[in-house]
């Protein structure tokens, strides 16, 4: 029975969770290759030397982040499909526990074995090499934690939500003033930044935009027109309807940028041109991750767009709203880039935005043309941009500049000649 249940669990969604470990393995390999390593030893000594209260606070924050990182995707994967079928089976509590415990153990075991195997094969099993995997998991933990926080908190503003938002800011300020543990502080700052750019901020701001509660609320529509611009509308429904997807991509992008900085630092890269190469490489990958998710989100929502499709908005205005939404989602990686490498920030952000725009518009255009997924092409375009960036940053900038008119052309062509898919695309039902 257990074997059958495990097979069912896997078929009913657990295998989707394995993708997380696939990503972790790739991240680990990249980390080893680039010597991406967080100075965990120094942080550990700082932590041991701190006061008991500080020690407990930091340990609690990290544990909570890691727990959230594993729990949220796993629960999502296990409950996504077929959960009701298991729930209605006449199983005892013990049997249910055995099924779930074994399933989760099987989920956790392979990647650990794989990580150890990779480390042993590389003959670098030493305390210092434990840094990369732990760092990757820690950063992913922070990223997914803030994603989970947003998804959990948004839409229903309550006192406890506001308290959590403020606590994250206070914690980040506290960590910054304490010095040390920079990555942890950065994690908290990113929590604040992303929350600030999200629907949460919109939900918090909304009451202040309505001046008087005594007037009929609809009469205040004119005062809130700034909220109703196409760009904000686009951003808003992308965040409301696809927050997990967008924020997950954003977290991936932040990790890319952080990994770039760690690669620069740990490899002792000092030449500006070499620094730019590494940053461009990761920036293009980050842009690709965000762009793919934006196009996926838009594809998933197209059947819902019949009403706004007939509004009198020009191709350029619609394009601008899409690009503004894309820019909004690039805030977190851009902030990370500025913090990490102020000298190269402007160039990196230019590359990031140009690449994201191009990839978004390519995907938008192709999916409108063919009404099917174009992720392979989008990843290919992002990878090509990354390679160009790694080979020559200045050629990459020139390419990015050329992509702007090409993107505009793609957008205009799509608008003028493509049908809006109004039936649910395959895979998005």
Partner 1 sequence: MIEARSVTKILGDKAILSNVSIRIDAGIVALLGPNGAGKTTLMRLLTGIWKPTEGSVRIDGHDLLHDDVAAKRALGYQPEFPDLHPELRPRELLDFAAAARSVSSEDLAEAVDRFGVAPLLDAPVGSLSMGQKRLVTLVAATMHRPPVLLLDEPTNALDPHRVAALKDYLRSPDAPRAALISTHQLDFVRTVAERFILLAQGQVAGDGTLDELREQFGMPGASLEEIVLAKT
Nearer of residues 84 and 225 to partner 1, judged by Cβ: 225
* Integer Cα distance of 412 and 419 in angstroms: 13
19, 273, 308, 343: residue in contact with partner 1 (rule CB under 8 A)? 308
* Integer Cα distance of 35 and 57 in angstroms: 29
- Which sign does the torsion angle of CA 394, 395, 397, 402 carry? positive
Q: Is 233 in the site for partner 1 (CB under 8 A)?
A: yes
Q: Is 236 in the site for partner 1 (CB under 8 A)?
A: yes
Q: Is 211 in the site for partner 1 (CB under 8 A)?
A: no
* Integer Cα distance of 403 and 355 in angstroms: 8
155, 163, 205, 370: residue in contact with partner 1 (rule CB under 8 A)? 155
27, 133, 230, 288: residue in contact with partner 1 (rule CB under 8 A)? 230
Q: Is 418 in the site for partner 1 (CB under 8 A)?
A: yes
- Binding segment for partner 1 (CB under 8 A), chosen from 249-257, 269-277, 383-391, 413-421, is 413-421
Q: Is 217 in the site for partner 1 (CB under 8 A)?
A: yes
29, 311, 387, 395: residue in contact with partner 1 (rule CB under 8 A)? 311
Dihedral angle over CA of 304, 306, 308, 310, nearest 10: 170
Given a contact cutoff of 8 angstroms between Cβ atoms, the answer to whether 163 and 270 are in contact is no
* Integer Cα distance of 128 and 44 in angstroms: 13
Long-range contact list for 161-170, CB < 8 A, 24+ apart? 161/200, 162/204, 165/192, 165/195, 165/200, 165/204, 168/192, 168/195
- Binding segment for partner 1 (CB under 8 A), chosen from 116-124, 168-176, 284-292, 302-310, is 302-310
Nearer of residues 15 and 211 to partner 1, judged by Cβ: 211
Given a contact cutoff of 8 angstroms between Cβ atoms, the answer to whether 388 and 399 are in contact is yes
Q: Is 214 in the site for partner 1 (CB under 8 A)?
A: no
Q: Is 372 in the site for partner 1 (CB under 8 A)?
A: no
Q: Is 310 in the site for partner 1 (CB under 8 A)?
A: yes
What is the number of other CB atoms lying within 10 angstroms of the CB of residue 422?
Answer: 11
- Binding segment for partner 1 (CB under 8 A), chosen from 70-78, 109-117, 160-168, 309-317, is 309-317
Q: Is 303 in the site for partner 1 (CB under 8 A)?
A: yes
* Integer Cα distance of 421 and 429 in angstroms: 13
The residue ranges that bind partner 1 (CB under 8 A) are: 155, 216-222, 224-225, 227-230, 233, 236-237, 240-241, 301, 303-304, 306-314, 416-420, 422
């Amino acid at each position: 029975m257990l074997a059958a249940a495990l097979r069912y669990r896997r078929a009913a969604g657990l295998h989707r969770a394995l993708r997380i470990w696939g990503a972790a393995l790739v991240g680990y390999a990249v980390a080893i290759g680039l010597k991406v390593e967080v100075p965990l030893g120094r942080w550990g000594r700082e932590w041991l030397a701190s006061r008991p209260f500080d020690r407990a606070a930091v340990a609690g924050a990290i544990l909570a982040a890691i727990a959230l990182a594993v729990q949220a995707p796993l629960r999502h994967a296990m409950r996504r499909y077929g959960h009701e079928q298991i729930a209605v089976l006449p199983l005892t509590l013990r049997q249910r526990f055995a099924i779930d415990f074994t399933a989760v153990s099987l989920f956790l075991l392979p990647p650990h074995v794989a990580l150890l195997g990779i480390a042993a094969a590389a003959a670098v099993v030493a305390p210092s090499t434990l840094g990369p995997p732990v760092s990757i998991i820690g950063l992913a933990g922070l990223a997914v934690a803030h994603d989970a926080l947003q998804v959990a908190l948004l839409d229903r503003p309550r006192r406890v939500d506001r308290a959590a938002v403020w606590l994250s800011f206070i914690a980040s300020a506290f960590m910054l003033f304490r010095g040390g543990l920079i990555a942890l502080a950065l994690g908290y700052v990113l929590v604040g930044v992303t929350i600030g750019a999200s629907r949460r901020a919109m939900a918090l701001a909304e009451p202040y935009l309505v001046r008087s509660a005594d007037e009929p609320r609809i009469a205040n529509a004119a005062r809130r027109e700034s909220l109703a611009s196409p760009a904000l509308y686009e951003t808003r429904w992308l965040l409301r309807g696809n927050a997990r997807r967008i924020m997950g991509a954003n977290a991936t992008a932040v990790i890319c940028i952080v990994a770039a900085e760690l690669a620069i630092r740990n490899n002792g890269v000092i030449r500006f041109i070499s620094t730019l190469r590494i940053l461009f490489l990761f920036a293009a990958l980050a842009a690709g991750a965000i762009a793919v998710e934006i196009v996926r989100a838009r594809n998933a929502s197209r059947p819902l767009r019949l009403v706004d499709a007939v509004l009198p908005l020009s191709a350029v205005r619609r394009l601008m709203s899409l690009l503004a939404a894309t820019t909004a989602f690039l805030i977190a990686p851009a902030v990370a880039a500025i913090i990490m490498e102020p000298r190269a920030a402007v160039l990196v952000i230019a590359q990031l935005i140009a690449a994201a725009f191009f990839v978004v518009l390519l995907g938008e255009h192709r999916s409108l043309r063919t009404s099917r997924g174009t992720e392979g092409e989008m990843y290919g375009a992002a990878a090509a941009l990354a390679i160009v960036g790694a080979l020559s940053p200045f050629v990459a900038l020139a390419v990015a500049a050329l992509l702007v008119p090409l993107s505009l052309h793609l957008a205009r062509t799509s608008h003028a000649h493509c049908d809006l898919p109004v039936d649910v695309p395959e895979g998005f039902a």
